[in-house]
Each structure stands twice: as structure tokens, then as C-alpha cells.
Amino acid sequence: MTSATHSTLFPRVPDTADAVLDGLDPEQREVATALRGPVCVLAGAGTGKTRAITHRIAYGVRAGILQPSSVLAVTFTNRAAGEMRGRLRQLGAGGVQARTFHSAALRQLQYFWPKAVGGDLPRLLERKVQLVAEAAARCGLRLDRNELRDVTSEIEWAKVTQTVPADYPAVVAKAQRDAPRDPAEVAKVYETYEELKRERTVIDFEDVLLLTVGILQDRHDIADHVRRQYQHFVVDEYQDVSPLQQRLLDLWLGDRDSLCVVGDAGQTIYSFTGATPDHLLNFRTRHPAATVVKLVRDYRSTPQVVHLANGLLAQATGRAAEHRLDLVSQREGGPEPAFVEYADEPGEAEGTARRIRDLIAAGVPAGEIAVLYRINAQSEIYEQALADAGVPYQLRGAERFFERAEVREAGVALRGAARAGGNDPLLDHAEGLPAEVRAVLSTKGWRSEPPAGSGAVRDRWESLAALVRLAEDFERARPGATLSDLVAELDERAAAQHAPTVQGVTLASLHSAKGLEWDAVFLVGLTEGMMPITYAKTDEQIEEERRLLYVGVTRARLHLALSWSLSRSPGSRPGRRPTRFLNGLRPGSTAPGGRGAAGGAGGAGVWSGGGGAGGAGGDGRPVARRKPRGPARCRVCGKTLTDAGEMKLMRCDDCPSDMDEALYERLHDWRAVRAREIGQPAYCVFTDRTLMAIAEAVPSTEGELAGIAGVGARKLGRFGAAVLDICAGGDGREVEVAATDEV
């Protein structure tokens, strides 16, 4: 090993306190030397916040101002705490405690429990799902595995927001939070779960914080003991603190103000777990004399990436937006971010895989490349595309698609149905392969409409939906394919994607990418309904989605590509739109205030990756843009519509409907007959939502019918005359016969 290599792996401990400050920029040095009173560090992505706060602690220790044993540094993950301890050791401050909130609280609870309560600390429940299932059964509720996970997460959220069971329904309603079940049912399960814990003498991880808070509140002697031990506190990722964690921090501090917090409101993306940036945003109100330092020198990303990141947050609204940080890149210039539009999802995945293969061939290590998406169910098509391209990959924060429990269960059911062949009463082979797959998956809880909200139930639905889409694409590629053919295809895909990989491209959701960085990042699937996700309804939820995209952008050091596809599958109507968050940032688009997109130094453009609507087929020419439409508004109450189903009806789901029920029934009956005649599922004629929209509008001309979402030119030519005849009181049959005779 060379001396240079040795010094990189084992950096030399600074000789003096002043040597600890060497290499810090002016703002980082200001943080490191601000050792008195409350300090608030507003640190943007890639600005060296961990470097600043570890050097602050080390400088204080080496200068004799801080005693190592009197400092407690808290963060949110064991990985982050371990990294902090390692850096402190390298700086000569190895005696400092760096822990997660839970780890620090558990250590105190174990030490003080015999004195405060007596006896041994109750056993810590490693996994609460089983006890939640028992609680649900006592309440007469049967929850499947995914519902159990969601209800368990909801109980955790209630506890960290200090919400008791009796208050849960009202708090959920006020927060406009999507509960996984009826709020009254969740509250009852929550209450029964707490009763079961008391009966079994066990506690969960949230109780560790709650009980520590309770002891410190009730026993002033114990609180004084803790405060004598820890006199200086540092809190990393302060924007992610929950109300319960803030209460514990207040009790640790007492009436002192030796506190340093570090955070970035622009990276608040975990509100669904109870995290809130309010404590960071209100810090100067609570501590008027606080020293505030902003870290905005970005050492991670090129000016081109930083320019886009700043532009994203410049359009944000709300309190977090008022405290946004404009980053200033400290790196040399690099390539402009690429905005890539594809005709369909498979084209997007294949195009992304090709671009990744080219980067690897140009010398970028596979381990320095990431593909980031909004939900884990999006991974399958990228797993397949990378496998087909011979590019190794690894998944982070999720199981591979074919290893997910619901996908394995679906595979078993599909194999069983394939073996049964024509003897399976579930299957109507005349309806085609996708209909057979839907019928089989319906036994596993599949429904055509997604469940409300997010969580495990939604994740399961998305995975099964991916299988349905795969069946549709497979039949399109191989007309007449059987269920056995599809099962063989699934087995081949699973085998290809299970190949062991050591160093590969990272596939990850945007949430699981927080805190990481790569040389090259591909942000994929950036369409309305996915970014922002369709169940983000309130302004606050929409803004959190914007921040999630910002986190994705700031993961890139050098290469950044943002892509979307205009349709789901080849040949489908190009009805998708790129995310609103890129309006005014991608060339050819207009910002919400009417400002055109600002071009970067290199003149980035929107490039077609596979024949986008109105554009060329992947030869590098900019795609022609459609004239942007204004926001869709409910024709009853005037509210802006974001849900695709509501936009089709042009009204909110809960606004009164003026649908002609008899007309809807006639259209429904006609659709069933027509679908059997053409050998396709009923929704291939028109979806239920489209039929409802027709029955509400009662069009009398082709122009009026064409104006209804879901009635494209192809369907207008094929079914329009019959639909108009039915709307006029006929049955549609004579019109179709006449049209057939003319042809």
C-alpha cells in the first residue's frame, strides 16, 4: 500500500484544535467555531453539513471547550450515526456519543427504569405486526398482510404525533390524511393493541420515546441527572423531527440553550411518518438569539444540475419555500440535464438502459449510476430492460419485482390456472389473455380501480397492476398467446433478473435515495399522476412531491437525465403529460407564472427517445409540443381537478352527478355485447368512467362526443355512431350494421 493510499484510508488526526478547521470554507468554519448558545445551520444538499457539524464538535473538544462525554449528537439512522462516530474518531473526538433518537432514549430507559418504576424494563417488541393482527381479530376485523402493515404504520404515526386512540379520527380528518381503514376502526385496533401490550408486559419502539419522555417529565431528579451528563446537543436532519422527538429533545435540554440543529426544509419528504419541518422553520422564533448559518456552496453537483435544482424550488409555495436555499455549485461545468420524452413505457426503459450502457462504455462505473422512480412497482420494467441490455443492477430499499410476496403468490395462482387449462371455471378464454390474468388475480384481491391513499395495500395493487400490464403487452406482441405462454415468459424474466450481481446500477425509489449520491442519475416516469403521485391531493402534499423530485435531482453529481413517456404501451393513445414540476424548466414549456423555460449554458432540449407525439422517432430532434391546456375544473364546484378519473367526468367524485341512469345502463349493456363480438375485455371498448361521462353529457353530435375524455379518434370512428344512436334513444345495432355494410 502506498503512503498516499494509506493517508486516504486512514486520514491523519489533526495535531491541534486549529488544524481541525483546515480545509473548511468560510460558512463551515463559522459553524465549527459557533460553540455557544443556540445555533441553526440551514444546509442545502451537497454542502458538507456532516463535515461542518463533526468539525464543530471536534474543534470544541480539541480546544477544551466541550467535554466529549457531555456531547450528544443525534440523527435518524444507524448508518448516519455510524458515519458521524467514524468522522469524530478521525478528528480526535472519539469519546462523543452519536446515536439515533431511539438508541439514546433506549439506553436511558434501561438505566433509569429500575429507579423510576422498579423491576426489569418490559421486553421490547421487535415486530408489532403480529400483535396488531391479534388486536384487529379482537375487534372482529380481518386484515390481510398489506392492510396489517398499513394499520401498523398508522399506529406508529399516531404515537409519534402524540395522538391517543380516542382523538385519532378527528386528528386524521384535520390532517386530511388517508387512513388505511375507517378511522373509527383504526382507532379501535390502536386502543386494543395498547391493551394487549399492557397484558403481555411488552413495549414497542415508539414507547421507548414515550416512556423516556414520561420519566423525564415526572422525575425531576432523573431529568437533572441526564442534564448533568449531557450539556451540549447536536441534531442532524432536523427537518425530519417528529413532535414526540422534539418533546424528548426539549426535556434533555431543560432551560439551557446549548443546541445546534442542522437541516433543510427543502428536503422534507417524510411527513407521512410524522416528520415536520415546523421545528426547523420556527427555530429562530423559539430562540431569537440564535446564530444562523446558511451552507449553500454545493460541492456535489455541477452548475447545470444545481441550476435545475434551484429552479424546482423557486416555483414552490408554502412556508418551506419561503426558507429555500439557493445553492451555488463549486464544481466545474458539466453536461446539461437531458429531458427525454418517449412514446411509451417500454421505450423509456429500453432507452434508459441504452444510455446507461453508453455511460458504462465511456468509463462511468455501474455502481456510480442510479435509476430513481416514484414507487417500487416501477422497477420491474427497468430490471428487465437492464437485464436485456446485459447491465448488472442492484435494488435498494425493496425486493426485486419477482421476489415480492404478492408477485410470487400471483405466479403460483397463474401457474395453477395454466395447468388447469380449459377446466378452470374462472377463465373465459374467449375474452383474451389479459382478461384471464385479471380473473386469476381477482382471487388475490386485484380490482380494476386502485385503493385510496398510499401504503402497503397500494404497493401490492401496483405490483399486481404491473402483471396485468405485462399480460396486455405480451398479448399485443404475441396475438393468441396462452396463459401457459405467459407463465413461461414470467419464469424467464424472473430467472434473468435473479442473476447475482456484485457491482451494478442502483434501482431505487426516490424516498430510499435520500442521503445518497451518484455520478449519473436517471429520474424516470415523470408524468402527471406519478409525479406528483395521484393520491397527493392537498397543496401541502403536492409541495412535498416537488421536494421529493428536488431530492432526486440533487443526488446527481455530473450526469442527470429526466424522462417520461406519453403512453403506457406501444400503440396506445399518447394521453400522458410530463410532470407540472418541470414547467418552465424544460425547454418548450411555460412556468406557472407564464415565464418560458430558461435554457442552460449548453442549450438542453427535450429529445425524443422513441417517437413521441408529434416528434421524430429517436433521431435526436426536439419533439413538437402540443399547445398546453389550462387546468381541468369541476363543472359543479369549480375546484381544480388532478385525479384522472375525476378529469374524465369533469367533476369531483363527491359532487352531485346528473347522470342519466337509464342511458348508462343501455350503454353498459351495449358495451358488453360489443366486447364479446370483438373478443376484447369490456374496458377496451370504453371504461366505466367514460360511460358515466357520456351518460352525464348525453352528446348529440360527433364533436360533443369527441370532447369527452376517453373517446379518442379511433374509438370515435369505431363506436361513435352507435353511441350517438343510443344517446338519441336507439339501441346502436342498426347503425353498426349499416356501417359494416358500407365498409
Assess whether pLDDT exceeds 70 at residue 141. Answer: yes
- Going by C-beta distance under 8 Å and a sequence separation of 6 or more, which residues neighbour residue 75? 81, 84, 98, 99, 100, 235, 236, 237
pLDDT value for 642: 54
pLDDT of amino acid 387? 80
Cα–Cα distance between 72 and 246 in angstroms, integer? Answer: 15
Average confidence (pLDDT) over 389-395? 81
Closest alpha carbon to 337 in 311, 376, 314: 311
d(CA 169, CA 163): 10
Which amino acid is it at 105?
A
285 by Cβ neighbours in 10 Å (0-12 / 13-18 / 19+) ranks as exposed
Q: Is the pLDDT of residue 712 over 50?
A: yes
User: Three-state SS for 703?
Assistant: helix
Q: Write 434-437 long-range contacts (CB < 8 A, 24+).
A: 434/468, 434/471, 434/472, 434/475, 434/681, 435/681, 436/471, 436/483, 437/467, 437/468, 437/471, 437/483, 437/486
Residues 377 and 412: their CA atoms lie apart, in Å, by 19
Q: Where does the pLDDT of residue 363 fall: very low under 50, low under 70, confident under 90, or very high at 90 and above? A: very high
Phi, psi of 339 (to 5 degrees): -105, 115
Find the mean pLDDT for residues 178-195.
Answer: 89
Query: pLDDT for 660-677, tens place per residue?
Result: 778 888 888 888 888 788
For residue 509, give the DSSP letter: E
pLDDT band at 22 (very low <50, low <70, confident <90, very high): confident
Compute the distance between CA of residue 588 and CA of residue 598 in angstroms, rounded to an integer.
9
Between 334 and 500, whose confidence is greater?
Answer: 334
43 sits in which H/E element: strand 39-43
Over residues 128-144, the mean pLDDT reads: 88
Mean pLDDT across the stretch 131-153? 87
* Alpha-helical segments (H) within 498-643: 539-553
Per-residue model confidence as pLDDT tens digits over 612-653? 333 333 333 333 333 334 455 666 666 665 555 566 566 666
Helix extents (H) in 478-560:
483-497, 539-553
Using alpha carbons, select from 238, 267, 262, 297 the residue that is nearest to residue 49: 262
- Give yes or no for a cis peptide into 68 (omega within 30° of 0): no
Start-to-end C-alpha separation, the chain:
81
Q: Would you place residue 611 in the very low, low, confident or very high pLDDT band (cuts 50, 70, 90)?
A: very low
Residues 221-247 have a mean pLDDT of: 91
- Gap between the Cα atoms of 213 and 216, Å rounded: 5
Q: Which residue has the cell 397484558?
A: 199
**pLDDT tens digits, one per residue of 109-118:** 999 998 888 8
Beta bridge partners of 21: none
CA 642 to chain centre: 18
Above pLDDT 70, what percent of the chain? 82
pLDDT at 493: 66
Q: Which residue has the cell 379511433?
A: 714
Ranked by mean pLDDT, the top range of 15-19, 22-26, 454-458, 552-556 is 552-556
pLDDT surpassing 70 at residue 465: yes
Q: Is the pLDDT of residue 427 over 60?
A: no
Residues 6+ apart with CB under 8 A from 216: 222, 223, 226, 248, 251, 252
More confident residue, 233 or 411: 233
Q: What DSSP line would sit under 647-661, residue for residue?
A: HHHTS-TTSPP---H
> In this predicted model, which residue has the larger pLDDT, 409 or 50?
50
CA 559 to chain centre: 22
One-letter amino acid for residue 699 of the chain = P
Go through the chain and tell me how many residues it has: 743
In one-letter notation, the amino acid at residue 623 is V
- Strand 338-342 versus strand 232-235 pairing type: unpaired
**Does pLDDT of 413 surpass 80?**
yes
Asked whether residue 497 carries a pLDDT value surpassing 70, the answer given is no
Residue 82's pLDDT band (boundaries 50, 70, 90)?
confident
Mean per-residue pLDDT, 135-158: 87
Q: What is the pLDDT of residue 614?
A: 34
As a whole number, the mean pLDDT across the chain is 81
- Report the pLDDT value the prediction gives residue 455, as an integer from 0 to 100: 60
The answer on pLDDT for 708 being more than 80 is yes
Residue 397's pLDDT band, with cuts at 50, 70 and 90, is low
pLDDT of residue 683: 67
SS3 662: helix
Q: For residue 739, what pLDDT is reported?
A: 43
Task: Encode pLDDT of 545-600 as tens digits.
Answer: 999 999 999 999 999 999 999 988 787 788 889 999 999 898 877 766 555 554 44
